[in-house]
Amino acid sequence: MLCRLATSGRSSTKFIVPLACSASRQKHTLPDLPYDYGALVPHISAEIMQLHHSKHHATYVNNLNVAEEKYKEALAKGDVTTQVSLQPALRFNGGGHINHTIFWTNLSPSGGGEPQGELLEAIKRDFGSFASFKEKLTAVSVGVQGSGWGWLGFNKEQGRLQIAACANQDPLQGTTGLVPLLGIDVWEHAYYLQYKNVRPDYLKAIWNVINWENVSSRYAACRK
């Protein structure tokens, strides 16, 4: 069954419920940033953050609400053809909303450095060292063809961390089964105004604002 995201708060995705379960669903809303648009300067400019959040993410939210309303109408009519035709819009805009809601909390003006505790130990176990992990995730993110995301995820079945890339706005968990811990947006709108077409420079800079406390909290939560 086609599902929609149900969120609790602005910082994390908690669970997924079938779209048809709620006849009077609440519309998705653009989450507030936990910091000012200029808080990540010089690594990510205020202009990029403002456009990325208030324009790009807002568009995904608006289009997701429209697609869900059309899907609800088609479901009530038993119009399977329309339900199927709406799935790409739900996937793209729903994924865009999921991904960016995670992304904002993965960043912090007091971020950077290395994680601590259980997350660091897991990174060393699964990638050899933090430096090796950082190199691998950077390489995967640089290598995304066109637009997409680089991810650190948790494989619950295997009990280990994995690196993955997703095209466009495909959500990590919905397409690979991995629980998202850290996402790096490599769409051009995430960096072009500041770094032009030099994606590696953007990826080098973003490590200075990674919120390891948030990533560690996500790791702890998905292991319960």
In a domain, 87, yes or no: yes
pLDDT in tens, 202-221: 999 999 999 999 999 999 99
End position of a domain, from candidates 87, 106, 125: 106
In a domain, 209, yes or no: yes
**Known binding site for Mn(2+): residues?**
52, 100, 185, 189
Task: Specify whether 154 is located in the same domain as 206.
Answer: yes
In a domain, 34, yes or no: no
Residue 66 domain boundaries: 46-106
Instruction: Tell me the average pLDDT across 132-160.
Output: 98
Task: Specify whether 124 is located in the same domain as 183.
Answer: yes
Task: Specify whether 132 is located in the same domain as 180.
Answer: yes
Query: Which has more confidence, 127 or 20?
Result: 127
Residue 86's CATH number: 1.10.287.990
Residue 87 has pLDDT above 50, yes or no: yes
Nearest to 166, CA basis, from 92, 68, 65, 64: 92
pLDDT in tens, 181-200: 999 999 999 999 999 999 99
> Which helix H or strand E contains 88, and what residues bound it?
helix 87-105
**Known binding site: residues?**
52, 100, 185, 189
Rounded (10°) CA dihedral 207, 216, 94, 159? 110
Residue 18 has pLDDT above 50, yes or no: no
Q: What is the pTM of this model?
A: 0.87
Provide the number of structural domains found in the chain: 2
Instruction: Tell me the average pLDDT across 63-68.
Output: 98
SS3 call for 87: helix
**What are the structure tokens assigned to 10, written together?**
């602005």
Task: Specify whether 155 is located in the same domain as 200.
Answer: yes
Task: Specify whether 152 is located in the same domain as 193.
Answer: yes
pLDDT at 57: 98
In a domain, 212, yes or no: yes
Respond yes or no on whether the N-terminal peptide bond of residue 42 is cis (omega within 30° of 0): yes
Instruction: Tell me the average pLDDT across 73-92.
Output: 97
pLDDT at 17: 36
Query: Which has more confidence, 23 or 137?
Result: 137
End position of a domain, from candidates 56, 73, 106: 106
In a domain, 151, yes or no: yes
Task: Specify whether 144 is located in the same domain as 218.
Answer: yes
Nearest to 54, CA basis, from 19, 75, 88, 29: 29
In a domain, 145, yes or no: yes
Mean pLDDT of the chain: 91
Task: Specify whether 121 is located in the same domain as 201.
Answer: yes
Residue 24 has pLDDT above 80, yes or no: no
Task: Specify whether 182 is located in the same domain as 100.
Answer: no
pLDDT at 10: 36
Rounded Cα gap, residues 181 and 183, in angstroms = 7
Residue 4 has pLDDT above 60, yes or no: no
pLDDT in tens, 31-53: 999 999 999 999 999 999 999 99
Task: Specify whether 85 is located in the same domain as 122.
Answer: no
